[in-house]
């Protein structure tokens, strides 16, 4: 599975291009489906309800969605860039208590898809 941050949907109306992240999930299925931004949004809704004891208000939801998409894209660009430059993943492999050894993954490759 690819790591996908979410991406605004491009809409062309005549000579005008604009990008949207609609509240209607059906309109933006490709823009947010299986995305880090959508997971963040859903977690925000759940945590808000737990902490506040009420549903998150609809007001400001569009700006919140923009924020989650921007954060998600920034995180994945950062990880992708970092993976090209440095060791970002190390792990230990234990065969038995007397014989363990450490591996480093240099230049790890993340399967990141910025647009769908």
Q: What ranges do the domains of the chain cover?
A: 9-106
Q: What is the pLDDT of residue 13?
A: 87
Q: Where are the alpha helices (DSSP H) in the chain?
A: 29-32, 36-52, 61-85
Q: What is the pLDDT of residue 113?
A: 77
Q: What is the pLDDT of residue 98?
A: 61
The low-confidence residues of the chain, meaning pLDDT below 50, are 26
Structure tokens belonging to residue 56: 């998150």
The model's pTM is: 0.70
Q: Which contacts of 72-79 are long-range, i.e. CB under 8 A and separated by 24 or more positions? A: 72/5, 72/6, 72/35, 72/36, 72/37, 72/40, 73/5, 73/6, 73/7, 73/114, 75/5, 75/36, 76/3, 76/5, 76/36, 76/110, 76/112, 76/114, 77/114, 79/3, 79/110, 79/112
Angstrom distance (rounded) from CA 98 to CA 75: 39
């Amino acid at each position: 599975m690819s790591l996908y941050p979410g991406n605004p949907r491009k809409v062309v109306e005549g000579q005008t291009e604009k990008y949207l992240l609609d509240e209607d999930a059906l309109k933006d299925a490709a823009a947010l489906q299986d995305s880090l931004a959508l997971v963040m949004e859903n977690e925000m809704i759940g945590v808000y309800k737990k902490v506040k004891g009420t549903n998150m208000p609809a007001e400001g939801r569009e700006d919140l969605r923009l924020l989650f998409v921007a954060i998600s894209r920034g995180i994945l660009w950062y990880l992708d860039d970092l993976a090209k430059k440095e060791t970002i993943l190390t792990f230990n492999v234990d065969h038995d208590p007397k014989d363990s050894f450490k591996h480093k993954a240099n230049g790890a490759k993340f399967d990141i898809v910025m647009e769908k």
